């Protein structure tokens, strides 16, 4: 589903349509099935994968977010960089119209920001207040600790925390992580998810043994 400008949808409904709090703002973005967008959250020129939810007061811009991601309150994904190479970093140099300096804004600058997209894999958990800086890729299955500031790419199934964000440990042994990536359960259709739903709570090794046919 593609949405432009603002959307106002009910906050609770048992169907696959995207849901957003009345105070959320979604502009020129795509929200997948079963997505949930919380209070005062802003999403701009981004794609949000199926089943992903953002709790409240989040900001996402120029990003690709995968399926089944759990994004806590006050997370910021791809905050805007300023032009450090110019005599002034102030946004009057690119938001020219609102300051009366020109009839058009500096679109080349905004294109530069768009080129530094953030890519978030599937089944990623981001804790309260985490910040993902421009151009970073977060691997599938990763955990970003509350308050972390992530400036470098994160491998799949890695727990990262701190300022700047650094790997703390891997969630699973390498062979388990590789098995999960092969299974790619996040790509199962709804009927398959319903049929195998209880298995998503089973022991991880048993789950991999059952579904990894590699």
d(CA 60, CA 53): 12
- Pick from 152, 150, 153: which is nearest to 127 by CA? 150
Active site residue 91: yes
d(CA 93, CA 151): 26
Residue 97 lies inside a defined structural domain of this protein: no
Give the chain's domain count. 2
Residue 90 lies inside a defined structural domain of this protein: no
123 and 211 share a domain?
no
Structural domain that includes position 213: 172-214
Q: Residue 150 is encoded by which pair of tokens?
A: 């992530």
59 and 125 share a domain?
yes
Residue 167 lies inside a defined structural domain of this protein: yes
Rounded average pLDDT per 10-residue block, the chain, 214 residues:
42 77 96 96 98 98 98 97 95 96 96 96 98 98 98 98 97 97 97 96 96 80
Q: Which pLDDT value is given to residue 13? A: 57
Query: Which position among 6, 57, 82, 91 bears the catalytic label?
Result: 91
To the nearest whole number, what is the mean pLDDT of the chain? 93
- pLDDT tens sequence across 24-68: 999 999 999 999 999 999 999 999 999 999 999 999 999 999 999
């Amino acid at each position: 589903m593609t949405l432009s400008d603002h959307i106002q949808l009910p906050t609770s409904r048992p169907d696959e349509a995207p849901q957003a709090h009345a105070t959320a703002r979604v502009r020129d973005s795509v929200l997948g099935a079963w997505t949930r967008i919380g209070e005062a959250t802003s999403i701009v020129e981004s794609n949000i994968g199926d089943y992903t939810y953002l709790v409240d007061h989040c900001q996402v811009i120029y990003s690709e977010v995968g399926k089944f991601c759990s994004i806590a309150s006050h997370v910021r994904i791809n905050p805007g960089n300023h032009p450090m190479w110019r005599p002034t970093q102030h946004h009057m140099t690119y938001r020219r119209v609102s300051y009366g300096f020109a009839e058009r804004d500096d679109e080349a600058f905004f294109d530069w920001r768009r080129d530094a997209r953030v890519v978030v894999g599937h089944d990623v958990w981001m804790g309260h207040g985490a910040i993902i800086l421009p151009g970073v890729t977060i691997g599938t299955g990763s955990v970003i600790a509350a308050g972390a500031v992530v400036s470098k790419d994160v491998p799949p199934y890695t727990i990262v925390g701190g300022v700047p964000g650094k790997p703390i440990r891997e969630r699973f042994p390498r062979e388990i992580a590789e098995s999960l990536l092969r299974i790619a359960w996040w790509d199962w259709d709804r009927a398959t998810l319903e049929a195998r739903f209880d298995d998503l709570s089973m022991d991880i090794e048993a789950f991999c043994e059952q579904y990894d046919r590699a």
